[in-house]
Amino acid sequence: MKSNFKNFVGGMIAGIVLCVSFGVISEAVGADLNTSLPFTPQQLAIIKQVKLALSAYHVDGDKKGKIDDNKMYHGAVKGLVSSLKDPYTRYSDPKDLKEEKVEMEGEYGGLGIYIASKEGRTTIIAPIEDTPADRAGIKPLDEIIKVDDKNVWGMESDEIVKLLRGPAGKPVTLQIRRKNVNKLIPVKIVREIIKIKTVRMEMLPDKLAYIKLNHFNMKSDAELAAAIAKAQKNNAKGIIMDLRNNPGGLLDVCVDVTSRFIPKGVVVGMRGRFEKANDTLYAKEGRANKLPLAVLVNEGSASASEIFAGAIKDYKRGKVIGMKTFGKGSVQSLFNLPDGSGIYVTIARYHTPSGFVLDHKGLTPDIKVAGEPKKNHKDDKQLQRAISVLKYEIKTKAKPKTKTTKK
């Protein structure tokens, strides 16, 4: 079995990726069959009896496609994985895994949201900027109760994702539960092909560069490098990095992005049960800029966003402003199975350079400011606070130092 060591630190598909080779599972399969099988002969016999009973006696068992060996097999593996009650340890069949890999490359069909199971509920981590979900008013921490007429309470996240996806142009209605709202909110959204542009940059007054980072995918570092270069060409005096509603992404990309601001040192550490799950990743030297920095975060900032903001905060490279982050701090590894399917296994939890473990806690910003992203910058309280903080820092640094002389 081939295994890719993929550290996923977002919700559904928002992941962090490193590639390492593991031989543990394949070696176990090659050992003595009787000693390597995870079940007793009696348990395996019972599984076979269950299948035979369903095939022979189920009232609809004679209908075409009802008794499907492949579906039973995938269902059995999924049940095995879900028994751990870890929402981030999950099984993906060949079709779904292929779609997920396309999504990580930056384009897929759907609504433009990332979801995760949080405290037993299907929670929206964040809508992606300028997607159908974003335009429909979906917010971080909204809970999905129904998809069309189907109640999804208690369903696994990957099953809900299948319901959310569909042909472009076809509408779907979500019943949303929102904090401090007494009744469910119906939200009708028309599906689109989602093309994720991860970085958007614009120059604000007073020569401040505003950079919105939507996701950490394969294009992000190159797009960010171009954005910073453009900002410097425009004589930017400071940078505001907006990670609000950024659900995470690829770990190697997160390290690359963080290296644009931190010249050296630890970016993130991981702690797990076995040697290769314990790792420390360092900033790549020679990439960092020295422009004053402010980072915006909120409840929709998860995983890779939390790693980035945590490193900035620990090194005092800039001020982190906004609300406490989502708190998704576990690391998933993707094990590719021979039939094209795969299992995402939680192998470790990550921590910031200071050793703070974010999982289920979230990162507390340096400056707490309530609010949410607004199309009109003047109405965006968090952004306006970041602008004022950055302007003050720039002004303070620009003041000439006065020398004192002893008399």
Mean pLDDT computed over 342-357: 93
**pLDDT at site 23:** 36
Q: Convert 361-393 to b/e letters by CB count within 10 Å (16 or more is b).
A: ebbebbeebebbbeeeeeebebbebbbebbbeb
**pLDDT at site 36:** 54
pTM, full prediction: 0.75
**pLDDT at site 400:** 67
**pLDDT at site 327:** 92
**pLDDT at site 274:** 84
Mean pLDDT computed over 329-355: 90
**pLDDT at site 332:** 83
**pLDDT at site 251:** 87
Q: Is the dihedral of CA 298, 145, 65, 72 positive or negative?
A: positive
Q: Tell me how far apart the alpha carbons of residues 171 and 188 are, in angstroms, rounded to a whole number.
A: 7
86, 130, 252, 314: which one is catalytic?
A: 314
Q: pLDDT category, 181, cuts 50, 70, 90?
A: very high
User: Is 60 annotated as catalytic?
Assistant: no
Q: Say what percent of the chain tops pLDDT 90.
A: 50
**pLDDT at site 38:** 73
Q: Convert 188-198 to b/e letters by CB count within 10 Å (16 or more is b).
A: ebebbebebeb
Quick one: DSSP state of residue 120? T
Write down the H helix ranges in 83-193: 94-104, 132-135, 157-164
Q: Tell me how far apart the alpha carbons of residues 331 and 133 are, in angstroms, rounded to a whole number.
A: 27
Per the model's pLDDT, the better-predicted residue between 186 and 55 turns out to be 186
User: Is 328 annotated as catalytic?
Assistant: yes
Q: Tell me how far apart the alpha carbons of residues 349 and 269 are, in angstroms, rounded to a whole number.
A: 8
Find out whether 255 and 283 touch, Cβ atoms under 8 Å.
yes
**pLDDT at site 147:** 95
Is the model's pLDDT at 115 over the cut of 90?
no
Mean pLDDT computed over 356-381: 94
Per the model's pLDDT, the better-predicted residue between 179 and 243 turns out to be 243
Structure confidence by residue, pLDDT tens digits, 119-164: 668 889 888 888 999 999 999 989 999 999 999 987 877 788 888 9
92, 259, 303, 330: which one is catalytic?
A: 303
Q: Tell me how far apart the alpha carbons of residues 166 and 172 are, in angstroms, rounded to a whole number.
A: 9
Find out whether 247 and 125 touch, Cβ atoms under 8 Å.
yes
Quick one: DSSP state of residue 249? B
pLDDT mean across residues, the chain: 85
**pLDDT at site 192:** 92
Q: Tell me how far apart the alpha carbons of residues 305 and 325 are, in angstroms, rounded to a whole number.
A: 9
Is the model's pLDDT at 380 over the cut of 60?
yes
Find out whether 237 and 394 touch, Cβ atoms under 8 Å.
yes
Token pair for residue 248?
A: 């995470």
- What is the per-residue DSSP string for 284-336? PTT----S-EEEEE-TT--THHHHHHHHHHHTTSSEEEES------EEEEEEE
Query: Which three-class secondary structure state does DSSP give residue 246?
Result: coil
**pLDDT at site 104:** 60
**pLDDT at site 349:** 92
118, 221, 328, 380: which one is catalytic?
A: 328
Mean pLDDT computed over 363-369: 98
Question: Tokens 């690359």 map to which residue?
Answer: 256
User: Is 303 annotated as catalytic?
Assistant: yes
Structure confidence by residue, pLDDT tens digits, 19-58: 333 333 333 334 444 555 678 888 888 988 988 898 888 8
Q: Tell me how far apart the alpha carbons of residues 19 and 4 are, in angstroms, rounded to a whole number.
A: 5
